[in-house]
Structure 1
Amino acid sequence: MVRTRDLARELAGHGLIPRGGFNFADGEDAPPGPSGAPAQAVLLVGQAGAAPWLHFLKWREAQPPGLENPLDTWSREVIGAVAGRFGARAVFPSERPYLPFQQWAMRAEKLRPSPLGILMHPEYGLWHAYRGALLFDHELDLPDPGAPAHLCDACAEKPCLASCPVDAHSAAGFDHAGCLEYVRSAKGRACASRGCLDRNACPHGAAYRYPAEMQAFHMRAFTGN
C-alpha cells in the first residue's frame, strides 16, 4: 500500500506536493492504470506558489537551448520518476487525449473556480497549479478534505474583473484573442513582464504569489514569444 507521506517526501525534493485524490467509483470511466486495467485511484500532483521554480531553473540549465515546453518536460521527467518508484502511471494536463484535470481537482480538493476560471484555494488563492497526476491499480487511503470556504463568495468588489485594460475576463468568459493581442503589443509590456493584472489583483494567497520572473515565463509561453 502506498503511503502518501512517503510519496509527499519524494515530491518535496522537487518543490511539488500531493494535491488530493480519490478512489474511482465502481463502473466509473477511469483511465488505464499502470497495469492497463481501469485505474482504481488518482492522486493529483502540483504546487503551492513558486516552490518548484528554482528546482526547474536548475534542471533547465542542463538542457539544450531552445527546448520546447520545458516546464511540461520537467514535470513529465520528475513526476514520471516518482510514479515509477511508487508503482503508478503518471498522466499530465498537456497530454492528449486530454483528461479531466479540472474536474478531478474540484473533486479531490473540493475547490470551485474563481471568476478567472482558475480554481480558488482557501490558502493559496490563485497561486497554485496541477502539474500531473498518479494513477494506481489499487485504492488509496485518502482523507476527506471537507468543503473549504469559497473566498470568491465573500468578495463583493471582484478586483479580478476590473484590472485588465481590455476586459479580457467577464461574465461572458475569457477573451483569449483580445488578451493575446494586447499582451503582444507595446501597451501590454506590463502584463508580459509581470503577469496577468486581473490575477495579480486578487487579494487572496498573496504570500504564494509567483515572482515576476516566473509570471513572465508563463506569459511568454502564452504569447509564444
Structure 2
Amino acid sequence: MILARGMIDGITAALGANGLILRGGFVFPDNEGSPHGPSGAPARSLLLVGHAGAAPWPHFLGWGEQQPQAIANPLDTWSREIIGAIAEKFGARAVSPSDKPYLPFQQWAMRAEGLKPSPLGILMHPQYGLWHAYRGALLFEDEIALPEQAAAIHLCDTCIEKPCLKSCPVDAYSREGFAYQACLAHVRGGNGEPCRSGGCLDRNACPYGTAYRYPPEVQAFHMASFARARS
C-alpha cells in the first residue's frame, strides 16, 4: 500500500505545531535490510524528522516548565515524546539518533536530502547551512510516494577560505578530523567561556545559513551538554 498524500500533510502539520519539520525520506529497496516497523516486520519507508534553526526552542522550553523534576537529557526526551506521539497516531515506529544500537541517521540524511558533510562533520544544507538538526525518524511498513530528490548544491565545495577551520583557538577541527579531547578540555577550561556562552567558534564562522543561526542561549545549552560528556 502507498501512503496517501493526506497522511503526509497530517504528519507535517503535527510536527509544525512543535517547531519540527519533515526532512525528506525514502523507500528501502527490496534487497536492503531495514529496521523493523511498528508491527516488527521490516520497514518499507522512512521519513526523517528534524528542524531548521531554533524553531522548536519555545515549544521545548514550554514543555520543560511543566516537568515535575529535572530530566537528564531533556531535549532528547522531548523529541522522543513528540515524535513518538505522532508515530502512534499515524501508524509508524519512531526511532531516535540516541537509540542503541545506533542507527545510521547521517547516512539516512545524506540519502534523503542529498547532503554532504562539512569540514566540521555537520551536514551542510544549501539553505540552512550548519544550523539544522535531525531529531528522529518515522518508520512505516508501507511505501511512501515521495518526489525524486534533486542533488543539493554542496556549499563547502565553493568555499575557498574555509573560516570554519580557522576560528577555533585549539584547532579542534582540521582536515584530519575532530580533536575531541582538545575541544572538550578547552570548553571546560578557563579560556572556554566564549564557546560555553556563544557556541562553537568554528561553526559560527561559517558564512552560510546565518538567518537560521541558533540564538546564543540555544548554543549555550548544547555546549553545556557537550561539556558534561565523559572524557
TM-score by length of structure 2 reads 0.96
1:162-196 deviation per Cα after TM superposition (whole angstroms, max 9, x unaligned): 00000000011000000000000110100000000
- From 73, 77, 82, give the equivalent of 2:81: 77
Instruction: In structure 1, give the amino acid aligned to 2:199.
Output: G
CA RMSD between the two structures: 0.9
User: Residue 208 of structure 2 aligns with which residue?
Assistant: 204
Q: How far apart are the structure 2 equivalents of 1:4 and 1:125?
A: 25
State the 1:65 CA deviation: 3.5
CA distance in 2, matches of 1:194, 1:144: 38
Equivalent residue number for residue 213 of structure 1:
217
Runs of 4 or more, structure 1, over 4 Å off, are none
Matched ranges for 1:1-225 at <5 A:
1-2=3-4, 3-224=7-228
Q: Find the aligned partners of 1:49 and 1:64 in 2 and give their Cα distance.
A: 28
Tell me how many residue pairs correspond in the alignment. 225
> SS of the counterpart of 2:36?
coil
Aligned equivalents of 1:157 and 1:65: distance in 2?
46
Separation in 1 of the partners of 2:212 and 2:148?
A: 24
Identity of aligned residues (%): 65
State the distance in 1 between where 2:68 and 2:171 align. Answer: 38
User: What do the CA deviations read for 1:115-165 (whole angstroms, capped 9, x no partner)?
Assistant: 000000000000000000000010101112200110000000000000000
How many angstroms apart in 1 are the aligned matches of 2:156 and 2:111?
18
Q: Which ranges of structure 2 fall in alignment gaps of 5 or more residues?
A: none
CA shift for structure 1 position 4: 1.4
CA–CA separation in structure 2 for the residues paired with 1:70 and 1:52: 13
Gapped regions of structure 1 (runs ≥ 5): none
